[in-house]
Structure 1
Amino acid sequence: MTHYRPTVTPAARVALAGVVALLAAACTSTTSEESEGPSTQVKGVPPVSAAPTIASAADKALPIDPYLLGFEQRDQLERAESVLVSRCMARFGIQYQAPPQIPTGNRPRSRTDRRYLESTAARAQANGYHAAEGDQPTAAPAPPQVSDATRMVLTGSAAAGAKNGQGGQDYNGATVPKGGCVGETKDKLGANPANNNGGDAQLARDIDATARERSKTDDRVLAVFRSWSECMKSKGYDYADPIKVLDDPRWTSPTPTDVERATAVADVACKEQTNVVGVWFTVEAAYETQLIEQNAPALAQVRKDNEDRLRTAAQALAAG
């Protein structure tokens, strides 16, 4: 794919040379101490090679991605949960239809889509920093109104708002499972507090978050942020880094203004000129790799658990 690349000024070349030098100099190795258990404590600054030029990371995968559920996998688990809950409720003589899934039309292309605040000149010109039409979050559907008896079988408790009752009640000659049919289904699909009650495993989530936050304060990323800031100043805009530009209170208007659009267009050009996305992505990936190596046995189990859960979901959907 061909990306727009503005002419690099001599000042920008000097700034980029500084970034490359920082990337090459960061060769501190991680410690070789064995962890007694899962840990997301960063051990030293991971080295990286020179960052590739990247205008958008939307088609790039981060090292932790194989341990996190993809959008389609989440959809599969949600569909299977609906099927299994309805099947469980039918055992008690209750016809129950789970709420429909949230529409996915506003879903990003990937987990890295605009993760590094990247955009395109066309998108910036059209929307500034406002969400494009169709990108706004979709509200979750309201839960269906049910009787106390249905709620008891569904959640294990007849109390309004209950989500994980003790169960054990007799209903139509059958014993309500702990957590009701929802609890039984989550158990079948391998959901528990360790994997966020059915979502991603907490360890994988922690690695994702830790590497993300650590990358923002890494000297190599801060250096490219300074280069971006200098580029913006040369265009008449004064922002310390690409994150702070998003916090400008002027962008809270109902629709994007001409000033907002012009700022966003300059922002995109400076990100590409200084390779903000390439450096940031490369550094964050290095932190993820370090944390993955520190937690290899635990993450191997996470991957197996996810495979088992998806296999169970596929079987439930195949059975109808």
Structure 2
Amino acid sequence: MRKVLPLALAGLFALSACQLADHDDPAGTARSLNTMTALPLHAYLPDPASDGAKAISRAQWILGKQCMVRLGFAGFAVLDTKSLESTYPVRRGTLVGEDMPGDDSPYGVVDPDLASEHGYHNRRTDASAQPQEWPADQYAALTGFGGSHFAHGHRVPEGGCLGQATRKLYGPPPEATKVNGLKMSGTYAPALELWYESHEKASKDPAWKKADRAWSDCMKKKGFHYSDPDKASLDSDWFGHEKPSDKEKETASADARCKLDTGYVPAVHALETRAQKSVIGRNKKRLDALLAADERATRNARTVIGHAS
């Protein structure tokens, strides 16, 4: 028998989800809420598929190409930057991690049938950003990571040629910040910092802990012992394999089924939505500056593209 949403969370869910999905369709509700776009802070992150983002990517490579030529990489003079749009550089021989479990959703697997087929390996091929391999010296000059700070006797700009291009389009970046102990810089670092901050706050809420316990109790009845969904999806047994094992598939399918049976996704989504709205309210000026910077970068990018045409 399907369990109903805990009473303590029903009001929150009604406010955040009633317009997104039918209450009589737990699978539909979970799918609609289990996306990054369903959370308020997503509005302050770039959409890689937008025309503006594509223009910025193209302009970054145009400026990056010019910089690489100045650094003495003569072959870049004839480089077709159109072939590089929507790519990001990786050092030649780097493993991109296609065998890593995970997906692009905030709350993990919610489709039992899909989970029984793919387990926790649900990463989608993102056509908006693909890795592009470069030799070590070119990678260092493009990104500023690894290798020498000089190329052919010329000093590599901070962040490499692509970092310099980004600054030309966006202007000076915000101060670097720490997210989960990692130093993070760049235009959208403040939004990611606030996302992490609000998630940490929401996940410590007693109602979130209650949702974890309900999910965990459901899993125990199916023979799986995890305290919360993250512990299940990040089980070390799932790493290092291109294809999921039968055990992983069974665990993931049970995970998804328990999320549906306990109303897990709408419960935690309501809490995270509330936490994100709170940080947005306290940091509105800071976040609006991100949107303004993105609009400025798009205008600058189109100017760069026009001059290069």
Q: TM-score range by the shorter chain?
A: 0.5 to 0.7
Structure 2 counterpart of 1:242, one-letter code: P
Using the TM superposition, name which of 92-101 and 73-82 deviates more: 92-101
Contact 2:120 2:233 (8 Å CA) reproduced: yes
Contact 2:13 2:266 (8 Å CA) reproduced: no
Identity %: 27
1:234 counterpart (221, 226, 242): 221
**Aligned equivalent of 2:191:** 204
Which structure: greater helix fraction?
A: 2
Contact 1:124 1:265 (8 Å CA) reproduced: yes
Classify the secondary structure of the residue corresponding to 1:239: coil
**Aligned equivalent of 2:117:** 126
CA pair 219-49 structure 1, distance change in 2 beyond 3 A: farther
Q: After the TM superposition, which residues 135-284 of structure 1 pair with which residues of structure 2 at under 5 Å, given as runs?
A: 139-143=131-135, 157-158=150-151, 163-164=156-157, 185-194=165-174, 199-252=186-239, 254=241, 255-284=243-272
**Distance (Å, rounded) in 1 between the aligned partners of 2:169 and 2:297:** 5
Structure 2 counterpart of 1:203, one-letter code: P
1:83 counterpart (29, 37, 62): 62
**Distance (Å, rounded) in 1 between the aligned partners of 2:238 and 2:142:** 47
**Aligned equivalent of 1:32:** none
User: In the TM superposition, what whole-angstrom CA distance separates every residue of 1:190-231 from its partner, at most 9, and x where no partner exists?
Assistant: 243417799433321211111122222221211111111111
Structure 1 segments unaligned to the other structure (5+ residues): 1-6, 25-46, 166-178
**Aligned equivalent of 2:39:** 62
**Distance (Å, rounded) in 1 between the aligned partners of 2:122 and 2:153:** 36
Classify the secondary structure of the residue corresponding to 2:108: coil
Contact 2:212 2:228 (8 Å CA) reproduced: yes
RMSD across aligned C-alpha pairs, in angstroms? Answer: 4.0
1:299 and 2:287 are equivalent in the alignment:
yes
Contact 1:191 1:199 (8 Å CA) reproduced: no
**Distance (Å, rounded) in 2 between the aligned partners of 1:81 and 1:150:** 11
Corresponding residue pairs, total: 260
**Distance (Å, rounded) in 2 between the aligned partners of 1:234 and 1:156:** 57
**Distance (Å, rounded) in 2 between the aligned partners of 1:118 and 1:50:** 24
1:102 and 2:87 are equivalent in the alignment:
yes
Which structure: greater strand fraction?
A: 2
Structure 2 counterpart of 1:227, one-letter code: A
TM-score using structure 1 length: 0.66
Deviation at 1:129, TM superposition (A): 2.0
TM-score using structure 2 length: 0.68
**Distance (Å, rounded) in 2 between the aligned partners of 1:216 and 1:231:** 19
Classify the secondary structure of the residue corresponding to 1:194: coil
Classify the secondary structure of the residue corresponding to 2:133: coil
Deviation at 1:274, TM superposition (A): 1.4
Structure 2 segments unaligned to the other structure (5+ residues): 18-25, 89-96, 177-183
